Structures are given as C-alpha cells and as structure tokens.
C-alpha cells in the first residue's frame, strides 16, 4: 500500500477532475439514452387536420387555434393544412422537461467550469 501526501490544492484538483469526468460520462450516457428514444419517421409522412388532432389527442378546433398562433409546425397548400409526423414529434420533444438528475448534472458542470475559469486567473 502506497500512502501519498498531497497539498490541499492538489487534492482539490484531483477531486474536481474526478467529478468532472464522472459528470461528462453521465452526460454522455444521458445523451446516448435520449438518442435511442428518438423516433425517426420519413419526412413525407404527412397528416391532415383530423389525423393530427387524433395524433396529438386534441380537438380540430385546438389544432386550428394552435396553427393560427404559430404554435404548431404546419405546411399550407391552398386551403389545406398538412402536418409532418416528424416535425410534430420534434415539437413535442421540445416541450420535454429535464429530470432533476439532469438539472443537477448541468449545475455541477457549470459550477466546475466557473471554478476552473477562476483558477485560470480570471
């Protein structure tokens, strides 16, 4: 067994580096998991208002309201509205709330980056 003596700054740097590596690894796992959850659909998979209402579990009136407010991605040809399933899924995913763990990981990474910047003479 080897026993080393480290100064407090050396120990702090080692701990920070270990935490930083763990946070990066956790973030990569999270991103990898999110990639596996993505659903890829062909971009030509279009729906009309009725199909979109059923897909989003909304009324047709709500679909028209969201379109007029610019809340839903839509294509218009003449008087007809078309919706891409892929774009609607992206729209739904954009409203995803982060888990408490994801927020904590981002906060820790931010704090570590701020400390690193301060240690570099800023």
Span 80-107, pLDDT tens digits: 999 999 899 988 888 888 888 888 888 8
Supply the pTM of this predicted model: 0.49
Given CATH 1.10.3470, say whether it is the number of domain 14-95.
no
Alpha helices in the chain (DSSP H): 8-37, 49-56, 60-68, 85-94, 100-119
Q: Which residues contact 117 (CB under 8 A, 6 or more apart)?
A: none
Neighbours of 74 (CB within 10 A): 18
For 54-85, the pLDDT digits (tens) are: 999 999 999 999 999 999 999 999 999 999 99
**Which strand (E) or helix (H) includes residue 77?**
strand 75-77
Scored b (16 or more CB within 10 A) or e, 26-50 reads beeebeeeeeeeeeeeeeeebbebe
């Amino acid at each position: 067994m080897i026993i080393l003596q480290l100064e407090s700054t050396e120990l702090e740097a080692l701990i920070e580096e270990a935490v930083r590596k763990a946070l990066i690894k956790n973030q990569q796992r999270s991103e990898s998991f999110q990639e596996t959850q993505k659903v890829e659909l062909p971009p030509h998979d279009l729906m009309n208002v009725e199909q979109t209402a059923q897909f989003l579990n909304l009324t047709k009136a709500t679909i028209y309201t969201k379109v007029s407010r610019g809340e839903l991605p839509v294509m218009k040809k003449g008087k007809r509205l078309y919706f891409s399933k892929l774009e609607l899924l992206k729209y739904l995913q954009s409203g995803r709330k982060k888990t408490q763990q994801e927020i904590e990981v981002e906060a820790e990474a931010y704090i570590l980056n701020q400390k690193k910047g301060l240690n570099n003479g800023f």
